[in-house]
Amino acid sequence: MEDKKKLDLKSLRESVSDKARVGFAKAKDSAGKIKDSVIQSIDQTGDGKFGKEDIAEIKRQLQEKQRQAKLRRDLDALNPVFPSDLLGTDFFLPKMVQVAEMDKKHAASSVCVGSIGHETLVKELRVVTVYPDRVDEWGDLKFYPNKDQEYYYMSPVDSHQFIAVSLFFDYLRQARVSELEKIAQDLGATYFKVSIGERAEQQKKNQMTHKSSQTANIPIKGIGAHEKTNVEHSVVSVDISSVKIDSESSFKGHDPVTPQLVYYRNEPQIQGLVNSRLDNSNRITKKRFTLEASQTCGITQKDIANIDTALSIKKIGGNSALVSTFAHEAHQEVRRVFQYDIEF
C-alpha cells in the first residue's frame, strides 16, 4: 500500500513537470514571436535587427510628423489663398477686402509660398487681404477709385466692384442721384430735382400705408406687360433739415420708355412711378417722393457695426481718422433722405 502511494506521487510529479515544460515552451515560443514582432515593427532598415540606424529613422519620422502638424496649424492660423482656391465651389469673396502687402508672418511661412492673399476673421466679419502685385489673379475685380485705398467694401449692386470705405457713402449718393436722373429722362420728364436732407433724430412720423393697383403696358423688371400688380406705398410725414439741392435738370420730354432700375429696383415708390408713367390711361404729371437713403444703400446696421469693429481692431496703421470718418458717414446715411421732384 505504501509503495502504491509513492508510485502515484511520482507519477503526479512527472505529469506536473511535463505540463510545466510544455507551458514554459509555449511561453518561450510566444515571447519569441512577440520579440520578433516588436523588432519587425521597429526595424526601419529591414536587417532584422534593432540598432542605431533604426533609432535615427524613428526620430526622423517623428520630426516629419511634427513638421506636418506645424504646417497644418500654420494653414489654419494664416489662411493663405491660392489661385486654385478661387476655382472651388465653396470659396466666395467676403464683402470687405483689404489691398496690402504680405505681412512678415505670412512672408516667413512656407505654407504661404505662391499665395495671392489671405483671409482673416475679425469678430463676425470675414476680410480678405489681396496682395497688390497679385490683384490681376483675383479675376475681374474693380476697385473704386483705384487700388491704393487699402480698405474696400462690396458694392450693393455689383459683387465684383469694391468701393473704398472712406468714399463708400459718397459714392452711393452720387450713384443713386444719377439713377434718379436717368429714370426721369427715360420716363420722358421735362424737369427733375433731387434734394438731400437729414431726418431729425427724434421725430414723430405720421405714417399712412395704402395699396394701389396699376396696369403697365410695358414690363419693368419683375412686372409683366398688362399685368395687374399691387404696389404698397408708404406715405410718411417727416421733418427734414439742411435740405440741399444735389442735382437739377430740365428736358424736352418724350414718350416714356422702361428705365433700368438698379439701386431702386425694390423701391415701391419708384416702381409705382414707373407703372403710373407707363399707363397711357393714367399718366402722372407731377410728383414728389421722399426716399430713405438707408433703404437703398445695400448695407445694414449690423454690417456697419462689423466694419467699424474691423477697422478699429486693425487700427489702420495707427491712424484712427478712417474709423471716425466711416462712423460719421454711416450715422449720416441712416438719417439721410432724398427728395425727388419730377414733372412731365
Angle, helices 168-186/321-335, rounded to nearest 10 degrees: 30
pLDDT beyond 80 at 42: no
pLDDT digits (tens, 9 = 90+) for 139-182: 889 999 998 888 999 999 999 999 999 899 999 999 999 999 99
User: What's the pLDDT at 226?
Assistant: 37
Higher per-residue confidence, 45 vs 280: 280
Where does the pLDDT of residue 302 fall: very low under 50, low under 70, confident under 90, or very high at 90 and above? confident
pLDDT digits (tens, 9 = 90+) for 227-257: 433 434 444 445 666 678 899 999 999 999 9
**How many domains, the chain?**
3
Question: What is the C-alpha to C-alpha distance for residues 270 and 252, in angstroms, rounded to an integer?
Answer: 21
If asked whether residues 292 and 236 sit together in one domain, one would say yes
Across 216-300, the runs of DSSP E, i.e. the strands, are 228-237, 240-250, 286-292
DSSP assignments along 64-109, one per residue: HHHHHHHHHHHHHHH-EE-GGGGGSTT----SEEEE----HHHHH-
If asked whether residues 224 and 338 sit together in one domain, one would say yes
Kindly state whether residue 156 falls inside one of the protein's structural domains: no
If asked whether residues 91 and 199 sit together in one domain, one would say no
pTM over 0.75: no
Question: What is the C-alpha to C-alpha distance for residues 300 and 306, in angstroms, rounded to an integer?
Answer: 10
Kindly state whether residue 223 falls inside one of the protein's structural domains: yes
User: What's the pLDDT at 281?
Assistant: 73
Kindly state whether residue 285 falls inside one of the protein's structural domains: yes
Higher per-residue confidence, 167 vs 55: 167
If asked whether residues 35 and 101 sit together in one domain, one would say no
- Residue 7's domain comprises 2-75
- Single out the residue of 181, 142, 147 nearest to residue 158, CA to CA: 142
Find the mean pLDDT for residues 117-145: 90
If asked whether residues 338 and 204 sit together in one domain, one would say yes
DSSP assignments along 240-252, one per residue: EEEEEEEEEEE--
